[in-house]
Structure 1
């Protein structure tokens, strides 16, 4: 019987899994471990197998995580008219309504049945860098409406940069120096984006129960865009992964939510850097009628970073599979492809 030990808890195939889903058994990386060789080996195996793994003992307390989730719920509990006052702007800061994002247009009849909130690197208007895409001032709810909300989210945005520790292990797994991704043009000045997510329950909207035959999804199948993503979730199931995105038919496996752990997955830029050795993994969210909250932290390199095949990942018999591309160019196009044009909301408000 397959099993994986996570914080002394054994996950087995007998774990309660949503109907018609196979449980994906993921490796677990302990950031407090002094055995770096074991961590590198375990992470490399996870990257080659599924592109998803758990990270524990990451240094962010469970008490604080619960506060972040509580504050997230406070925002999403607001009336829609209040949330629309902080609608996302052209820098992708602020609120994203239900159906705003369409991740899998070939299979979805509408957008994703989720709402979200983007928070990025805070760069005050007029300061160097504030004119760049994905940089600038954040959009915040009124302090009178949600006192302490901004402070909690800013603290979490800062603490989640523990993700750089994961990037160092990934570098070693690719036979690079451990500080490879720490360079200023890479994660020295990252585009680090926090996104709060809420999938509504059945008492709110009919689309909260997914139906793959009818093209209704909590979040359509997609890969993430950057280097890695750290995901914290509540205890409600919904996340599924497809280890081989080129398979036909695709095989989907459920990922178990784990208290105190981050679920980490690889993004498109890492696939490009590694020449497909480490692949960004297709994933989706299926709603089951229960309310579900999650918090994603997208770790992407600096705007000017040129993402191209690493020397250690190419050879005469294995030439680069992807052309070089600048990080901000790639991100801008992906966001444009998947989000509703803001002019559509402006017309609704007239």
Structure 2
């Protein structure tokens, strides 16, 4: 299919430096009701630093497979995820996702009691000898992205008729489960014959919605992300999202959909690659482990009662990760 014939979507663009907060709230609310996706610009992370993060990501994925497998993800979801490790849409995919990734979470020392919690603990890092400066760059980006996410969350709170600092509380984003994930979709030269083909069940990333509060996505200039505004439509209509140099593509997650009683949308999306190599950097922002995700008072009424039972963030996330990643023991089986 020719690019100019493909359906593309137009997203609202929110500037974090705009002094007109009411304008930002209106743009976000419109986007949240329509597709759950929008752009964020003027976020304070320089393009030079973003370019450096992408360069460092490419350095890692260019390593030999044997070196990357030494950093295989652990049970806390830290480290390397090989090609086909994740299957996001098992009903429609014949294999897993044709992407490789790298998880970096909140750094918690092993002897800290907090490290007992799921998704918390020490990160898995390449050695300084192997990739000098790599850890420093990724830790800086993790901090910067969390700052941006908190700024976006304040606008979301206002759009839901809550106090601006609603998500800043310790049980929310004061002690978040914030996960940086580097992603690499190999070109057709490496994965011969494995360019995405929905008719054959082959995808860069299968159709899914994100699990948490919000996701900040930075991409290179290769088009690949598609969204489906109406998951119940037959047939589903998929629209490409145009990359935005220097900006973030932001989307709302399932927890926010639960909080808002489906007022704000967590939208299906997938990645279709046509043979071009593609890099992206996702930053998944979830509240604290103990946070109880339940319908907000501003989003329910007698005529619109809560649609979901309350659930803790840790329980919800743990189940979603378990559902979409292959069991780590399978890697041991392959080596024996």
TM > 0.5 between the two? yes
2:200 is paired with a residue whose SS is coil
Cα distance in 2, alignment partners of residues 44 and 110 from structure 1: 37
- Tell me if 1:119 matches 2:101: no
Q: What per-residue deviation string (whole Å, max 9, x for no partner) do you get for residues 298-322 of structure 1?
A: 0000000000000110011101001
Partners of 1:18 and 1:48 lie apart in 2 by 28
* CA distance, structure 2, for counterparts of residue 103 and residue 248 of structure 1: 20
CA distance in 2, matches of 1:18, 1:330: 38
Q: For 1:337 and 1:80, how far apart are their aligned partners in 2?
A: 25
**C-alpha deviation, 1:20, in angstroms:** 4.9
Aligned residue in 1 for 2:254: 268
Preserved contact between residue 34 and residue 265 of structure 2 (Cα < 8 Å): no
State which of 301, 326, 329 in structure 1 corresponds to 2:287. Answer: 301
- Residue 21 of structure 1 contacts residue 252 of structure 1 at CA under 8 Å; is this kept in 2? no
SS of 2:276's partner is coil
From 271, 293, 298, give the equivalent of 1:312: 298
CA distance in 2 between counterparts of 1:102 and 1:273 reads 26
Please give the alpha-carbon distance, in whole angstroms, between the structure 1 residues aligned to 2:180 and 2:152: 17
For 1:91-110, list aligned pairs within 5 A.
91-110=76-95
Distance across 2 between alignment mates of 1:19 and 1:217 = 21
Aligned match of 1:6: none
Deviation at 1:19?
5.8
Which residue number corresponds to residue 171 of structure 2? 185
**1:54-203 correspondence runs (5 A):** 54-161=39-146, 162-203=148-189
Alpha-carbon distance in 2 for matches of 1:31, 1:18? 31
Correspondence for 1:252: 238
**Equivalences, count:** 335
The runs of at least 4 aligned residues of structure 1 exceeding 6 Å deviation read: none
CA distance in 1, matches of 2:3, 2:320: 31
3-state secondary structure, aligned to 1:194 = strand
- What's 1:323 paired with? 309
Q: CA RMSD in A?
A: 1.1
TM-score by length of 2: 0.98
Hey, what does 1:27 align to over in structure 2?
A: 12
Match of 1:339 in 2: 325
CA contact (8 A) 1:271 1:277 kept: yes
> What is the aligned partner in structure 2 of residue 217 from structure 1?
203
Tell me the TM-score normalized by structure 1. 0.94
CA distance in 1, matches of 2:270, 2:99: 12
Q: Greater shift after overlay, 198-207 or 229-238?
A: 198-207
Gap runs ≥5 in structure 1? 1-16
Q: Secondary structure at the match of 1:193?
A: strand
Unaligned runs of 5+ in 2: none
Whether contact under 8 Å (1:190, 1:299) holds in the other structure is yes
Cα deviation, 1:62-93, whole Å, max 9, x if unaligned, reads 00000000000000000100000000000000
Instruction: Tell me if the contact between 1:163 and 1:230 (Cα under 8 Å) persists in the aligned partners.
Output: yes
1:165 & 1:57 partners in 2: Cα distance?
11
- Please name the residue that 2:274 is paired with: 288
Q: Secondary structure at the match of 1:164?
A: helix
